[in-house]
Chain A
């Protein structure tokens, strides 16, 4: 079966750095996405990786290793507004997104 694993919850301190990991087993691979979802709101797109390596976008970076079935989202200079759930999703061989359950990130002052 297809599976996306990410930690259920993480806690970090304002101003610090946090890394959210995602491992996947899917039938085929056509890209990996990270979305942010604040409580009670819609998911919003953060990043997309299809080749191995690091993609940097401001305070957020996303890394992919296709051979290991592994990705991480790195958030720097954490702000209180970064408190949210972070969803990892993989596009499979049928070009459908398979979603992880999300990681709830709690930022403490």
Chain B
């Protein structure tokens, strides 16, 4: 049981390049999330998904797109990377609907992205 995995772990991009970050979970969780973490700031929600085939915008969605074609995978895309997108990106998943149970989120190890 690997939990939540993310690929790649590190990436350096040039301004304007595109890339896709992959998140996979093997816990059969319905809910999946993409966050970014910047120094001195709390985790900020980019996009989330409440089930296969569904996605929704979070707090800071601009410049990112997501897809959830399979229940176990949640992809985050950057179409045209900008230096402001330099950050650590975390994927998370949770088993229950919000408001039910503890709503604990399980996090992946993160992707460190630098945009030059």
- Chain A residues near B (Cβ < 8 Å): 4, 8, 30-31, 33, 41-45, 48, 87, 89, 91, 95-102
Contact = CB atoms under 8 A, between A and B. Distances in A.
Contacts, number: 53
A89 B103 CA distance: 12
B105 A97 contact: yes
B44 interface: yes
Interface of B: 4, 40-45, 48, 58-59, 90, 98-99, 102-110
B42 A95 contact: no
Given A42-B107, A44-B107, A87 B99 contact: no
Main SS of chain B's interface residues? Answer: loop
Nearest to B100: A95
A96 B58 contact: yes
A97 B43 CA distance: 9
Nearest to A48: B102
